[in-house]
Structure formats: structure tokens, C-alpha cells
Amino acid sequence: MADLVHGSSREPGLLTVAGQRQPVVLSFSGGKDSLLALARLAADPDWQVVRLLTTLNESYQRIAMHGVRRSLLEAQASSLGLPLDLVFLPVHGGNAEYEAALGHRLMEYRENGIHHVAFGDLFLEEVRRYRETHLAQVDMTGLFPLWGQPTDRLARRFIAEGYRAIVVCVDTTQLDPSFAGREFDDRFLADLPVTVDPCGERGEFHSFVYDGPPFIHPVMFQRGETVLRDQRFQYCELHPWPFNPPSADARSGGRLR
């Protein structure tokens, strides 16, 4: 697996952009909304995604809320061909710790001429206001390329365009735990209760995208056990697989059965 570029944002080539496109950092969870936001920005002549930014649980080295291992996140970024910056959060930290850790990284971006951070948020006004307020403190601006789009259409477009994802976390107060570990496909959407947003925007579920149009090759993994944590969240464990890019005729999916 290619080495991941992460750490200091003061690396050479940080602002290498095509034409007149402005550089933007994408807040990246590894889930479907992040990939859809990336695709939307890639199609926009005004913007160039130059880095991915992800928050990780410092002790467990996993994506916050999603529970996906750092090694799989790194494999995603490598296959997408984008440098990845990591912000580590303490296990029991609150908003103050989150804002301090993230604020330090945002200041580095700002000092290097990046003025925008993009998010895959869809319709939660309070979440957007929080992000915009936090960014304003370091004189930066948020972009929301998917904002206001019908989530049922977004979910079906994600599937129709050839993305592949697995549901890695389910909030059992909103959705049956049996949905954890399922492929995010048409059957999954058909089985969702009407009370659950098709994109899981209210935190009903979270996903990990392992293949799709922007990937150089699928991210390989082995699906493992499902585990209930905090007496609420059902997680599906994904075990990293040794890096071995498949041939073009083997691109039937990244999950090894």
C-alpha cells in the first residue's frame, strides 16, 4: 500500500491546483455523503479538493462515530489519490477538546492559503450553523455541496453510479441492529422503515465506501463480527486485508467473502 501523506499541512505542493480552481479541504468520514460531496466538488470548475480531513479516536485509532480502523481510512485516501490529515480526539473529550484540536489544524490551512472546508451535510440546520461558527473563528468558510438535495434521490444515485458501501454503525434507538453489516444497496433502502432517512442524516446509520468511480482500486477488507457498544450503537467490524490491487476484471467489490 502506498504511504499515506498526513501530518503537517505545510508540505510542499499543498496548493497545487488546476486552472483557477480554489483549494478546499473536504471533511471526510469515509462514508457515502463524503464521497458524494467529493464527486460534486470534482465536477465544479470553481473548486479543487486538495486534502481530506478526518477526526479519529486517539486511543482506538478509529474514525469518530463510524468506528472504522485507521488503516482502512488510509487505504481509502490512497485509492482516491488524495492526501489525508488526521485530527486525534480523546476518548472522553467534549466540544472544547474537539474545537481546540480541529482549530489548530484549520489555522494551518488558513496560513497556507486555504480558506474553505467542505462538508457532506444534507439538511440539519443546527449542524451547519455550528460548523460555520467554528470556521468563522479562524476566518474560514464552509461549503455544503449536497445541501438541500432530496436524500432519497441522493441515496439511489449513489448506488446507480456504481459506488459500493457497507453499513458499519447503526443507532439501535432508531434502526434495528440487524442492519449493521449490510450492503448499502437498493434492497437496504427498500427495507428501511419510513422513519429513517435514506442517507442516515439524523445519525440512524453510518457507512464505509470501499469502491466507486473515483477509486483507483477497491479497498479490500474482511467483514467481521457485529458488536453493541455503549448499549446503543451496533458496529460491524471490518478487518483490513493485505494490500493487493485486483485486476480490472476482478472489480466486483472490495469485500472478501
The structure's pTM equals 0.86
Give just the sign of the alpha carbon dihedral 102, 107, 112, 114: positive
Average pLDDT over residues 92-98: 75
Residue 248 confidence (pLDDT):
37
Distance CA 23, CA 147 (A): 20
Pick from 1-15, 86-100, 152-166 the range whose average pLDDT is largest. Answer: 152-166
> Do 30 and 106 have their domain in common?
yes
The order of strands in the sheet holding 164-171 is 205-211, 164-171, 233-240, 221-229, 255-256
Looking at 81, 115, 143, the residue that finishes a domain is 143
Is there a domain that residue 17 lies in? no
Residue 44 belongs to domain spanning? 22-143
- CATH code, 174: 3.90.1490
- At how many degrees (to 10) do helices 151-160 and 32-42 cross? 80
26-44: pLDDT as tens digits: 999 999 999 999 999 999 9
The predicted-structure confidence for 37-69, as pLDDT tens digits, reads as follows 999 999 999 999 999 999 998 888 999 889 999
More confident residue, 243 or 111: 111
pLDDT tier at 247, thresholds 50, 70, 90: very low
**Could you say which of 143, 175, 207 is where a domain stops?**
143
pLDDT for position 93: 65
Q: Is residue 124 one of the residues assigned to a domain?
A: yes
